[in-house]
Amino acid sequence: MSLNTQHLALLGHEFVSQSKKDGFIAVNNPATGEDLAFVYDIKEQELQDIITKSQVAQKKWAALLAVERANILLKWYDLMLEHKQALAEILTQEMGKPLAEASGEIVYAANFIRWFAEECRRIDGDILQSAQQNQKLLVLKQPIGVCGAITPWNFPSAMITRKVAPALASGCSMIVKPATQTPLSAYALLVLAYKAGIPKDLLQVVTGKASMISKVLCESDIVRKITFTGSTEVGRTLMAQSANTIKKLSLELGGNAPFIVFDDANVDEAVKGMLASKFRNSGQTCVCANRIYVQSGIYDKVAQALKQEVEKLQVGNGLESGTTQGPLIDTKAVAKVEEHIADATSKGAKVLSGGKPHSKGLSFFEPTILTGVTKEMAVAREETFGPLAPLFKFDTEEEVISMANNTEFGLAAYLYTNNAARQWRVGEALEYGIVGINTGIISTEVAPFGGVKQSGLGREGSKYGIDDYLEIKYMCVNLGN
């Protein structure tokens, strides 16, 4: 299947072309290797012009009543659900995830729009008690202004709406730079946004050379905030580039999530959560289980139970019925998984299941389980971002907390135990921004998403997410005699 008439209607943007032409970049389907479409390679001066227009549009948008902004956002939400199937098919073709997962992402993405459409009517200030007579102290919340968003390929719709929705709800404008591998989802969302009534200059998608675009956004005096989801390495670069203009930053960076299973856990439920956390999106999520710690008393039982479930996974094109595991995004991702397996097995780990590129070729990879994994192996320190489940063994609670926290990252962690006191004790001891207890699925628009340590700054989603797009202004009013 390639892009059909319905898909192309959602991609009716001047920066998207069906045919190859000068100044456009190919978008590839990782499951087939074919070119899906071509997107415009923007020039620096064109980007500067977009930034200038964004500033003008932002001031007009901020002047609207909150309920007016909310109503337009809710129209966008409705249009996303109306076109859910086509949006999911576009997503699957450019990114590779199974259609059922892509469809779930579209709903998840739309929910951020609905949530922040509702939240924008609750952007309230405050009146403080003054220490002096005839004086009023007021606190206002105002939009920060023009924002730049740089989004990843693994959730090409949800990571956009999670940033755009609070920005627009608060009265900001936004320029989105989607990942080079997955820009079509961004343009499809943009077309629907315009159809809903969002002004063209208020929300823009730009594609092209990532280093140029990010540098221009970070160094612009007009752009007041940068929000980024991606690697810690790139996050550091963006921080440095933003330093001279003292920008507000939201950074959702790398993870190295521990998944802890204690002896008293329900093994079937733990394996179910493990499967969801580790192998969703072929292991290509920032919160997926990267280090699986199993207490020694049930280690072998968990390993065999996981093997049984992993071998049921169906690898294939995400558009094909029954597929539960799509391709990796590209051959570089395959190489990273192979490196981690080779390193681990050279140091004593054993392959329990999978372990090599899939016979389907391209960037397909067998879901893999390693046993006998230790802290000396690369997979203990580095994020794999692929369908590799390494099983570590531990004996005591204190030992596993130390092992889990022994990383510069701090995005998500998981633990399974039926002991309520341990749930609280370990949950609080883990140095992570998000902790899933007896669940492998943690993402929702109603909860704050973000990490600690070198996993980032700020929070997205929830009632707290809109604060990252607001400035607090204090007004001291002398009423006179």
Average pLDDT, stretch 330-359? 99
| 460 given a catalytic annotation | no
- Domains of the chain listed by start with CATH number: 5-253+455-474 (3.40.605.10), 257-445 (3.40.309.10)
Give the pLDDT of residue 111.
99
What was the pLDDT predicted at 1?
Answer: 63
* Tens of pLDDT, residues 27-43: 999 999 999 999 999 99
3-state secondary structure the chain: CCCCHHHHHHCCCCCEECCCCCCEEEEECCCCCCEEEEEECCCHHHHHHHHHHHHHHHHHHHCCCHHHHHHHHHHHHHHHHHCHHHHHHHHHHHHCCCHHHHHHHHHHHHHHHHHHHHHHHHCCCEEECCCCCCEEEEEEEEECCEEEEECCCCCCCHHHHHHHHHHHHHCCEEEEECCCCCHHHHHHHHHHHHHHCCCCCCEEECCCCHHHHHHHHHHCCCEEEEEEECCHHHHHHHHHHHHHHCCEEEEECCCCEEEEECCCCCHHHHHHHHHHHHHHHHHCCCCCEEEEEEEHHHHHHHHHHHHHHHCCCCECCCCCCCCCECCCCCHHHHHHHHHHHHHHHHCCCEEEECCCECCCCCCCECCEEEEEECCCCHHHCCCCCCCEEEEEEECCHHHHHHHHHCCCCCCEEEEECCCHHHHHHHHHHCCCCEEEECCCCCCCCCCCECCCHHHEECCECCCCHHHHHEEEEEEEEECCC
Q: 237-266: per-residue pLDDT in tens?
A: 999 999 999 999 999 999 999 999 999 999
- pLDDT per position as a tens digit, 408-445: 999 999 999 999 999 999 999 999 999 999 999 999 99
Q: What is the pLDDT of residue 5?
A: 87
Q: Which of 89, 105, 252, 397 is catalytic?
A: 252
Please give the mean pLDDT across all residues of the chain.
98
